[in-house]
Structure 1
Amino acid sequence: MQFLGNGAFGDTWKVGNEAVKVICVDDYPKTRLEREVEGLSRVNSPYVVALHGVEELKLGGQQRPALRFEYIEGGDAEQRLASGGLVSMGSVRGFLRGVLLGVQAIHKAATIHRDIKPANIALRDGRWERPVLLDLGLAKQMDASTITVYPGHIGTMPYMAPEQLEGRRARKAADLWAVGVSVRQLISGRHPFYSEHETYTIDEAFTKLSAGPEALPNECPDDVKQVLDRLTAFVEHERGSSASNLARLASQ
């Protein structure tokens, strides 16, 4: 058994050829667990982590829910970024296409991820061209009632779309925004809107987003630039859909 990391709600371990996420928070909402299971059960895509099953483990005298996933060898994009590794211009189109295909599969399953970020993008076999979306713990089924009370902020603030900062519901466009922010960050090594080590109020963050992202490098392929600029459009409807953005990416 190998420890893989911990999050806000639990720890993840490698057990055999699976990754097991153990929920360690005593008051973790049952509805949130059911939402993650439901979201993943609807999706069948090589670009979204596969859920193998759910069970309970006895730890410290208490029963803890545990989710069993496929184990994806290769680490995640945040780990790569932390070690100074950036997506190359030769790989960026394939990486962006793969993430968009994962988002498209989630959206086709009537689900919104709501927490796309580099830490939730695994790299199968360590390859940028084979991204896999992880962690649907904050996912929302579009055909189900929500446990979120609005206005509210659901997700990870540096990757929240403007409408999320305003406390409005996250829709498909919010996932697309998070893809655009994540990929831009993985190209340059810097967040496209915020300065490192700075703390922002909601109003300050909103102002930063309204000013537009940092320009992409000149060597970035034109079709990739076009898609990333659409994905980080301040206005929701200008971001298009996963399908329309995939259509804009060149085949080679």
Structure 2
Amino acid sequence: MTVGRVVAGRYELAALLGQGGMGQVWTAYDRRLDRRVAVKLLRPDRVAGGGAGGDAEELRRRFVRECRVTAQVDHPGLVTVHDAGSDGDDLYLVMQHVEGSDLADHLAEHEPYPWPWTVAVAAQLCAVLSAVHAVPIVHRDLKPRNVMVRPDGTLTVLDLGVASVLDSDTTRLTHTGSPIGSPAYMAPEQAMGGAVGPYTDLYALGVLLHELLSGDVPFAGSTALGVLHRHLYEPPVAVRRLRPEVPEPLEALVLRLLAKDPQDRPSCAQEVYEALVPLLPARGGPGPTRPLDPTRPFLRPHAPWPDRVTTAPPMPAVPPAPPRPDVAGAVDEVKRLLGEGRITQAVDILGSILPAAAAEHGERSPVVRILRKQYAATLMDDGQYRRALPELRRLAADRAAEAGGGDAQALDFRHDAAQCLEQLGEAASALAEYRAVLPGFESLYGVTDPARPFAVRHRIGHLLLAVGDHGAAHQYGQALLWDAERVYGPQHPFPAELRRALAHQRELRAT
């Protein structure tokens, strides 16, 4: 990559901001709109299993899907995504250019970091995480380098969705056998290769707060494996031993966030925010006016920056709602949109025509059942797991009432519901649901299509890691490996992946 390259015929690269093993970040100019932007370039051949063409193409598809999902999140604390796609061998993501300093540099310039600043940073990050987790999306790589402190003191979180693209099934290891993420900020369940959820981001938040308060991350080491081992087995040092002036409630909150077992952490980002509220600076006071002070948004919420007058643009007129399409016409339109990859629009149309179809044909009619199945599947494709879950549960209950709980369709609906629960971060509920459907899958497919029950068992093993039962997870994974080798042979990719994951877990325990 060189200065002056034009990406997608539009974005002219100007200056390299940073680079790593998977790609680069540039400042660039949008030639069409004449504005400065940031462009992240990813190389599929460097992250998709060592360069296999099929893996690279799958990564491209995941990249477009993830960008579409993350674009649904509307929050002032998130960087705005302008565009995404592929250009030659690169995937590109075009974002707003954010002025300011990243949180790592901000800490270095203001060490020791005032504890009220830490509280303000944490509160702003909780507001972002609450919006992100509601989608649901898990950031998976929250760290100071992915947080910008703007001149007005507000924070902007970067790289939302990028880790999800590289780690699509929430547990995938890279071809080197390491989990995706930054070891210093990695939760125990993520380090072990288990399922991740909102609780994983809360652990990373705890690491970040410990670093801001103490000047260093709670677990460091000379090797990545050594750092991950410490996350799993060592307790963090209480920050008041290093900074006695830190309030006790703040120290207690950091220790809760750093709990090894996800179930011992706060239940959600909203709960963390509420715990921070008593420690926040009082609103409305005169407050500081210097730039890059993260307490300013709480001292003077929405106050204009000194010597800077801004005028809000007029609100656009709300267009009139389009007339409701007839059911048959809407179905044809949905097929066309799905064929063009316009999933979000297809979801909106399906959601709007379901009530009309039920009124016209009856709730239990075949046409409504087909529409509801398509609606649930499209919601899942669009990453809207919270909306898909009740549809899947309804479909599963209706089908089980007609054909019995062991029916293949009923089991498939329950399996998809378990996937939604997993994506929503409800690890214990997802684990229970997968366990409930496993006997049916083994009965139906154990001989003819063993990959299906094997996939369910794989998810169970990852969720056992997510709920902190490492011993059971290892035993479960070992039993799955034996069965997979018996069916496929030891050289098949699936047993090979299982062996790498089990070896990684053993290394962590032995380090």
Class of the TM-score when normalised by the shorter of the 2 chains: 0.7 to 0.9
The corresponding residue for 2:15 is 2
Specify which structure has the higher proportion of helix.
2
Residue 185 in 1 paired to residue 214 in 2?
Answer: no
Name the aligned partner's letter for residue 273 of structure 2.
L
The corresponding residue for 2:137 is 111
Deviation per residue, 1:24-66 (Å, 9 max, x gap):
4445521442354034212111122111112444xxxx35332
Name the aligned partner's letter for residue 250 of structure 2.
V
The corresponding residue for 2:200 is 174
Equivalents in 1 of 2:190, 2:199: separation in Å?
10
The match for 2:70 among 26, 36, 40 is 40
The corresponding residue for 2:93 is 67
Deviation per residue, 1:123-148 (Å, 9 max, x gap):
12273xx22221121127xxxx7274
The corresponding residue for 1:53 is 83
Contact in 2 for aligned 1:35/1:139 (Cα 8 Å): no
Equivalents in 1 of 2:117, 2:230: separation in Å?
32
Equivalents in 1 of 2:228, 2:90: separation in Å?
37
Q: Cα distance 1:180–1:147, how it changes in 2: closer, same or farther (>3 A)?
A: closer
Q: Cα distance 1:4–1:162, how it changes in 2: closer, same or farther (>3 A)?
A: same
Report 1:85-164 matches (<5 A): 85-125=111-151, 127=153, 130-135=154-159, 136-139=161-164, 146=169, 148-149=171-172, 153-164=179-190
Equivalents in 1 of 2:27, 2:210: separation in Å?
30
Deviation per residue, 1:56-93 (Å, 9 max, x gap):
44xxxx35332111111112122334556453223111
Contact in 1 for aligned 2:219/2:230 (Cα 8 Å): no
Q: Which has the larger radius of gyration?
A: 2
Equivalents in 2 of 1:8, 1:152: separation in Å?
14
Residue aligned with 1:110, SS:
coil
Equivalents in 2 of 1:106, 1:69: separation in Å?
17
Deviation per residue, 1:211-242 (Å, 9 max, x gap):
31122122123332232121111111111111
Equivalents in 2 of 1:237, 1:5: separation in Å?
36
Q: Cα distance 1:207–1:22, how it changes in 2: closer, same or farther (>3 A)?
A: closer
Residue aligned with 1:168, SS:
coil
Residue 246 in 1 paired to residue 273 in 2?
Answer: yes
Name the aligned partner's letter for residue 14 of structure 1.
T
Give me the TM-score of the superposition, normalised by structure 1. 0.83
The corresponding residue for 1:233 is 259
State the 1:181 CA deviation.
0.3
- Tell me the C-alpha RMSD between the 2 structures: 2.6
Name the aligned partner's letter for residue 4 of structure 1.
L
Q: Identity percentage over the alignment?
A: 27
The corresponding residue for 1:13 is 26
State the 1:248 CA deviation.
0.8
Residue 210 in 1 paired to residue 233 in 2?
Answer: yes
Name the aligned partner's letter for residue 132 of structure 1.
T
Q: Cα distance 1:66–1:225, how it changes in 2: closer, same or farther (>3 A)?
A: same
Equivalents in 2 of 1:133, 1:190: separation in Å?
20
State the 1:158 CA deviation.
1.5
Q: More deviation in 130-139 or 176-185?
A: 130-139
Equivalents in 1 of 2:18, 2:152: separation in Å?
17
Contact in 2 for aligned 1:184/1:192 (Cα 8 Å): yes
Contact in 2 for aligned 1:20/1:68 (Cα 8 Å): yes
Contact in 2 for aligned 1:185/1:192 (Cα 8 Å): yes
Specify which structure has the higher proportion of strand.
1
Equivalents in 1 of 2:225, 2:43: separation in Å?
30
The corresponding residue for 1:201 is 225
Contact in 2 for aligned 1:194/1:208 (Cα 8 Å): no
